[in-house]
Structure 1
Amino acid sequence: MTAKTILISTGEVSGDLQGALLINALKLQAEATGLELNIVALGGEKMADAGAKLLANTTSIGSVGLLESVPFVLPTLQIQRRAREYLRQYPPDLVVLIDYLGPNISIGSFIRHQLPQVPVVYYIAPQDWVWSISPRNTKKLVEIADKMLAVFPEEARYFAKNGASVTWVGHPLVDRMQSSPSREQARAALGIKPGQTAIALVPASRRQEVKYMLPIVFEAARLLQAELLGKLEGSKIVDQQPSTSQADAPLFWIPLSLEAYRRPIEEAIKHYGLRATIVASQTTQVLAAADLAITKSGTVNLELALLDVPQVVFYRVSPVTAWIARHLLNFSIPFMAPPNLVVMRSIVPELLQEQATPENIVREARELLFNTDKRLQVLADYQEMRSFLGEVGVCDRAAREIIRLAHETRKEKIVINK
């Protein structure tokens, strides 16, 4: 049996999830084609559980922003050095890069200059196609990738226009959501009563988000909790029913992205007086059971959309980073929430930087909870969004392309050393 080694490089919680889904598909494709496959990775626990040998865990060193990334520079450089040493000693047959712009450009450039015989596949390219500040990153991505596997149609068009060899495979969450529980199943598994309001809070998958966004989302939750309890008490008085019990009161559910965040979240729950439950192993059930989600911008927005859960999306970085981005780098984006990016129009409310206040979040949440027309419109827009994410079988399509390239000898390519 032929043996091939593939190195997969990614970072952060979402990259670890996408990497794990891809590894499972690669193993199935390899078995079907009689290929012995060894996978080594820069990633996280999900990828390790899927069968990869981890060179380093990169799930906890991700950041968005300029100042926010400073604490992670040294750990990232150390991991990069370790990866380069491994690549020199054990050149793989193929490298797959998933998102993770800065570190993966570094690894891709190293391979292109030092190991030009090794093909590079970029799967789920960084969102340079949305917020490119200069064409430099786009040029680098195109230069280092022999093949780009795009998850969004607009992403595929952008990189093809800039000279890349691109195949649109669709978004891997389409596959993952096939095994998701129904709303009724999820609520039963979590013990949520039929008429009880359940709200998912998804504030952080990066350390910086704990600092900049946890206070905002928890204050919003406190205000919303008081409002919901008031409405519930009022309705019981009108109906001449007993006062609200603990069992009837609205609940907040918080999926835990990393165990390191448990303590600050527990402290925040206590400080803000929330009726909230932290969940570490039933994330999909929490999302599927929710009447509403208040969530940071990220891959989770697509998960919620595929589960038909209305959501309020918000994001904040440090004020200094925001000022530099706007005034020195001329940074601007049409949208940040992935569901809006897919259709290039606003289908879920997103509140960024100064607009991301507890009061604004509560205002949008109130609309999605109590305005029937608004909820129905969001659900209808989700249906449209689905058509842009491809058909089921995304991970298999990506895996087939990768296995095919692993079998082929890389074509000669002129590389200019700078």
Structure 2
Amino acid sequence: MRIFISTGEVSGDLQGSLLIVALQRQAQRLGIKLEIVALGGDKMAAAGARILGNTSSIGSMGLVESLPYVIPTLRVQRQAIAYLQENPPDLVVLIDYMGPNLGIGTYMRQNLPKVPVAYYIAPQEWVWSMSVRNTNRIVGFTNKLLAIFPEEGRYYQANGANVCWVGHPLVDRMQNAPSREVARQKLGIPDEQIAIALLPASRRQELKYLLPAIFQAAQTIKSKLPTAHFWIPLSLEAFRQPITAAIQDYGLQATILSGQQQELFAAADFAITKSGTVNLELALLNVPQVVVYRLSPITAWIARHILKGSIPFASPVNLVVMREIVPELLQEQATGENITQAAMELLLNPERRQQTWTDYQEMRRCLGEVGVCDRAAQEILQMLPI
């Protein structure tokens, strides 16, 4: 049975790889042999998929920011559709990656309507949709929507989708995280060292808009806390050179890591991070964090004054419970000074840290029970025409 999976960006590659492992495990249990072809990245390839196009670095957030990726995105979308036309699969699974997946899903409905389509981790229309047009398109071509957030499930069900809530896959992933003691020993972090994770970018635009403010804050924090050391996990190897150069420019005592993000999170005392899936990973390992995000001034102005958009929160940690668990500093508020102030409060105020840990437990209860990836895989395999 051939399954085609389409996703993009760093987080999609991670989620896709977790799903592929579960699909293979559940297929073996059922005596089904799978061939998985995908748009994705290195993690999905390592999990056993044949990658048609590497999309882990094709992605952006914002209107102006997306312009450099329009042609690469259209190219990979056309490549996928050409493959589907020549090699109709038994099943299509779409993971987030709204732009290309809208095109692929629409193609499937119009040209291969008998091939079932599952949407796993649907676009966050429930957070920032300004019309139901794209929601209706998603519902129209999706046979089964596997929701990871309760509010996501409620939104799409209310708009006519066939929804199954499976929970969030990071609940599974964090089960394999090492203890704090083991992680710190593995990374060579002394007991007395304050280990602070800096996560400025998983998209190239974020190096420009987020890294300066985050590194400015790190400079100030180091002057206030001499025992602090900064650790920076690479989301893409292509970011090593610009991040290394920035460490030298800002005179930071920082260590770059590759492939050891989970160990770092288990070992860290605190994190300054961009908004994204990584916020949930940190929360599930009880790491207090300050969340930062900025878009280009042009994009922000268009969103506020023309599209008149507003979102309740940027971080998924806060979106899960629809209230502020972790501080968010967005756009003009995302300054080195503000980041430092929020960071020092969490680093030095025991009551504030304890409240964060308590709130994390509330959030955790909203993400479902362990076994998310297997539940998702079972739901998907039930759609195969066996």
Classify the TM-score, shorter chain. over 0.9
Equivalence for 1:379: 357
In the alignment, what sits opposite 1:153? 150
- Alpha-carbon displacement from aligned partner over 1:231-275 (angstroms, at most 9, x marks no partner): xxxxxxxxxxxxxxxxxx321000000010000000000000000
SS in 2 for 1:287: helix
Structure 1 residue matching 2:210: 3-state secondary structure: helix
AA aligned to 1:330 is: K
2: distance between equivalents of 1:167 and 1:402?
Answer: 11
Of 2, 11, 19 in structure 2, the residue corresponding to residue 5 of structure 1 is 2
Of 210, 213, 227, the match for 1:213: 210
Question: Which amino acid in 2 is paired with 1:84?
Answer: I
Please state if 1:189 is matched with 2:186: yes
In 2, Cα distance between equivalents of 1:209 and 1:189 = 29
* Residue 287 of structure 1: aligned partner: 265
Name the CA distance, whole Å, in 1 between partners of 2:193 and 2:272: 17
The residue number in structure 1 matching 2:291 is 313
In 1, the alpha carbon distance for the partners of 2:37 and 2:88 equals 11
Aligned partner of 2:236: which letter? L
* Counterpart for residue 53 of structure 2: 56
Point out where structure 1 has 5 or more consecutive residues left out of the alignment: 230-248, 409-418
RMSD between aligned alpha carbons?
A: 0.7
CA shift for structure 1 position 211:
1.1
Q: SS of the residue aligned with 2:88?
A: coil
Compute the TM-score of the two structures, normalised by the length of structure 2.
0.99
1:22 aligned partner: 19
Instruction: Letter of the 1:121 partner, please give it.
Output: A
1:96 alignment partner in structure 2: 93
Match of residue 139 from structure 1? 136
Number of residues of Structure 1 aligned to a counterpart in Structure 2:
386
The Cα offsets for residues 193-214 of structure 1, whole Å up to 9 and x where unpaired, read as 1121000000000011111111
Distance 2:328 2:178 in 1: 26
Task: Provide the TM-score with structure 1 as the length reference.
Answer: 0.92
Spell out, residue by residue over 1:68-108, the C-alpha distance to the aligned partner (whole angstroms, 9 max, x if none): 01111111111111111100000000100000111111110
Helix, strand or coil: the match of 1:36? coil
AA aligned opposite 1:133: M
| Cα distance, 1:139 vs structure 2 | 0.9
**What SS class does the counterpart of residue 35 from structure 1 fall into?**
coil
Structure 1 stretch displaced more, 310-319 or 216-225: 216-225
Residue 270 of structure 1: aligned partner: 248
Q: Take 2:264 and 2:190, find their aligned partners in 1: how far apart are those partners?
A: 14
Shift of residue 223 of structure 1? 1.1
Pair 1:41-2:41 in alignment: no
What residue in structure 1 maps to residue 308 of structure 2?
Answer: 330
Q: Which residue number in structure 2 is paired with residue 361 of structure 1?
A: 339
- 1:105-254 alignment, distance < 5 Å: 105-229=102-226, 249-254=227-232
- Identity score, percent: 65
Unpaired runs of 5+ in structure 2?
A: none
What SS class does the counterpart of residue 40 from structure 1 fall into?
A: strand
Partner Cα distance (2:338, 2:134) in 1 = 34
Q: Counterparts of 2:59 and 2:88 in 1: how far apart (Å)?
A: 26
1:274 match: secondary structure: coil
Listed one character per residue, the Cα deviations across residues 372-395 of structure 1 (whole Å, up to 9, x for unaligned) are 000000000000111100000000
Shift of 1:135: 1.1
Residue 70 of structure 2 corresponds to residue 73 of structure 1: yes
Distance 1:354 1:407 in 2: 52
Range that drifts further, 130-139 or 49-58: 130-139
Quote the residue 1:412 is aligned against.
Answer: none
